[in-house]
Structure 1
Amino acid sequence: MILYKTIALKFGHFYDRERPTSMTGLDGQPVPSEDFRQHWKSVLGDLASARIYLLDHNAANYLDSLRMGVQGMPWEDRPESDIQGYVREVDFPRDLIWVEYDDRKLWEDRVARRVSTQTEEELNNRRQRGFLFDNRSPDKLTVCLFSALSDTMFLDAPLVLEIQKDEDGRPDFRNTSWQPNKTVIAGLMRAGFLRDAASAREYFEEYKGHVTYEMVIGFMLFAALAAREDDLVPQETPSLSNAQVKTARKFGKTWMTETLRSHVTIRIGPAAELHMTEQKARLRFEETQAVGRATPTEHWVAEHERHYANGKVVRVRAHKRGQSPSRELPARVVGPKKHD
């Protein structure tokens, strides 16, 4: 599935056909029905204006590995200022951006990289995720997260992360806040996701954790695109086929053709493939090292004398010692390659 298309089709249908009723919010106050229609219209407008990036699983894995290089592994105690200082200098390719990836595949790759562990049940609960970055305001950057539940159902963003900007127009991660979306929260309450205040707090804390940790992948994407190297290969594709466009126009679904124009699929290029190959080789090398005493890499031992306790002296000729490096391992894993 493509999550952004699912959202557009669902909200477009709702806006065309549905007549929502008022609901009760978490604070006990009614949320007017018109607020729901305005929310659907707002999301459709944002998706229509946004640059849509769809990461294939290799691209998401690559960007996540780059993030780990800056932020550190989960078990490393690096200060948050490291990653914050990096992402605040990243330039956005557009003011409004949607970044989507397959969360299950990303976590499968994280497990393969020994970054985390996941049970099969936990993996089965992960599907497409999409982040909407809104950098249009001169005063703040906002980020919200949408998550797929199935091919036709998804979770809207109950909270919007607001990151204030400093005098240079860069995001200031020391000055952030979470703004509730009352219409989404009311819908989650009616659907049974928020049964009481305790479950709401738990749900919101989990959502905040997902947003603040995973949104960094978007910043890594923006940085990689700005570098204009051959690690990523973007390809723009129409989001609707010609037949779908004709059908939408025939039935007057203008929101469909206006919202689902095109998206950019991001795949990895030669440099990223080399990076991931080296990373896998390094992981195998480190695992081998951890099994037991590591055999030293092949090297020359200079001629020398060996003195024994009984007074005997033996001259040892120059010789090679250690194990020849595997040709499959990248040079920087085992040291410089031998030059004949």
Structure 2
Amino acid sequence: MILYKMIALKFGHFLDKENPGNMPGPDGQLVLSEEIRQHWQSVLGDISSARIYLLDYNAANYLDSLRLDVQGMPWEDRPESCIQGYVRDVDFPPDLVWIEYDDRKLWEDRVGRGITTQSEGELSSRHQRGFLFDNRSPDKLSVRLFCAVTDNLFSDAPLVLEISKAQDGRPDFDNVIWKPQRTVIAGLMRLGILTSEASARELLDEHKGHVSYEMVIGFMLFAALATREDDLLSQKVASLSTSQAKTARKFGKTWMTETLKSHVTIRIGPAAERHLSEQKARLRFEEAQAVSRATPIEHWVAEHERRYSNGKVVRVRAHKRGQSADRDLPTRVVGPSMQG
């Protein structure tokens, strides 16, 4: 199931039918029933007000590859300022925005691109992922990550990342705060997932890593949408079918029709297809080069001196060396630039 629909249906049902009990909080104070209901209502209200974007697996893979063009491969030693500077210049909508994609498909694509390894067991534990960005405040950008656990269960965001804004209204990544969500953490404690301070620290640190790394895809989406190229194609789709909406109204489930209005499906366009095709061809070419004893690609060697052990010195003129580039290797297709 689509993750944002799962969350809306679950929390809407809970508000309609459930009366949660008090439970111990992470600070030793009780999390009251009303506080839990307020949290459900807050998340439901934010989702109903958000602009919903669903990325198909090709779109998520494309945006991730654009990110790596800027951020560099995991084994490259590029400073974080490279990607932070790029992200700062993206014109992110001043709204609530939900961005969702299939995390398993994305990691399968990453494995295919040779940037990581994952076992089948690790891949099978990945499902839909959704980021809720709140960019309405002039002072901060808030980010929450929700993850599907199964087809009908999800994990709420135990932390909210708050990124302060500089005077120009852009994110200031040197000034961030992680705000724990008492109701979510208390629920994890009650389920026995957080049994000690060490387990809590491990889970929260892992969540921070996921948010910090993966949220960049959201910024790449709006960088690509802002270009004049045909990188991405968008289509507005009703979140409920006609029969589903009719049934919801019949049984008085107004929260379904009010929350699940419509979403935008994002697919790749011709420019993005060319980019991914070039990427695959280049990967195959580099793999073949790595296992072969082929001479280097043709390049210029500058004029230099060659010194021998017997004291002889020979001046070597500038010349070309190596073989001409494979004509079957596609020309590099670049992603969207901020000046586009």
- Alignment TM-score, normalising by the size of structure 2: 0.88
Mapped pair 1:120 → 2:120? yes
CA contact (8 A) 1:96 1:135 kept: yes
Mapped pair 1:89 → 2:80? no
Structure 2 residue runs without a partner (length 5+): 300-321, 334-340
How far apart, CA to CA, are the structure 2 residues paired with 1:216 and 1:296? 36
Secondary structure in 2 matching 1:285: helix
After the TM superposition, which of the residue ranges 89-98 and 165-174 deviates more from structure 2? 89-98
Give the number of the structure whose alpha-carbon radius of gyration is greater.
1
Residue 325 of structure 1 corresponds to: 326
CA-CA distance at 1:271 after TM superposition:
0.2
CA-CA distance at 1:296 after TM superposition:
5.6
Mapped pair 1:147 → 2:147? yes
CA-CA distance at 1:229 after TM superposition:
2.2
1:295-329 CA distances to partner (integer Å, 9 max, x unpaired)?
46699xxxxxxxxxxxxxxxxxxxxx9578354x3
Secondary structure in 2 matching 1:202: helix
Residue 223 of structure 2 corresponds to: 223
1:71-119 CA distances to partner (integer Å, 9 max, x unpaired)?
1111111111111111011112351100000000000000000010001
How far apart, CA to CA, are the structure 1 residues paired with 2:331 and 2:173? 38
Residue 252 of structure 2 corresponds to: 252
Give the letter for the 1:275 counterpart: H
Relative to structure 1, is the Cα distance of residues 175 and 296 closer, same or farther in structure 2, using a 3 angstrom cutoff?
closer
CA contact (8 A) 2:93 2:135 kept: no
How far apart, CA to CA, are the structure 2 residues paired with 1:324 and 1:222? 35
How far apart, CA to CA, are the structure 1 residues paired with 2:279 and 2:295? 21
Secondary structure in 2 matching 1:227: coil
How far apart, CA to CA, are the structure 2 residues paired with 1:107 and 1:167? 37
CA-CA distance at 1:193 after TM superposition:
1.4
Relative to structure 1, is the Cα distance of residues 322 and 21 closer, same or farther in structure 2, using a 3 angstrom cutoff?
same
CA contact (8 A) 1:51 1:94 kept: no
Deviating 4+ runs (over 2 angstroms): 292-299, 321-327
How far apart, CA to CA, are the structure 1 residues paired with 2:61 and 2:138? 32
How far apart, CA to CA, are the structure 2 residues paired with 1:195 and 1:40? 24
CA-CA distance at 1:225 after TM superposition:
1.1
How far apart, CA to CA, are the structure 2 residues paired with 1:282 and 1:159? 39
Mapped pair 1:38 → 2:38? yes
CA-CA distance at 1:190 after TM superposition:
0.9
How far apart, CA to CA, are the structure 1 residues paired with 2:142 and 2:60? 21
Aligned pairs, number: 311
Secondary structure in 2 matching 1:54: strand
Mapped pair 1:232 → 2:232? yes
CA-CA distance at 1:293 after TM superposition:
2.5
CA contact (8 A) 1:64 1:217 kept: yes
Superposition pairs for residues 73-222 of structure 1, below 5 Å? 73-222=73-222
Residue 307 of structure 1 corresponds to: none
How far apart, CA to CA, are the structure 1 residues paired with 2:331 and 2:32? 64
Give the letter for the 2:110 counterpart: R
CA contact (8 A) 2:127 2:147 kept: yes
CA contact (8 A) 2:157 2:184 kept: yes
CA contact (8 A) 1:111 1:117 kept: yes
1:129-179 CA distances to partner (integer Å, 9 max, x unpaired)?
000000011110000100000011000000000000011111100000100
Residue 17 of structure 2 corresponds to: 17
Secondary structure in 2 matching 1:331: coil
Give the letter for the 1:325 counterpart: D
Query: What percentage of aligned pairs have identical amino acids?
Result: 73
How far apart, CA to CA, are the structure 2 residues paired with 1:330 and 1:227? 22
Secondary structure in 2 matching 1:146: strand
1:27-74 CA distances to partner (integer Å, 9 max, x unpaired)?
211001101111111111101110000000000000000000011111
How far apart, CA to CA, are the structure 2 residues paired with 1:332 and 1:266? 24
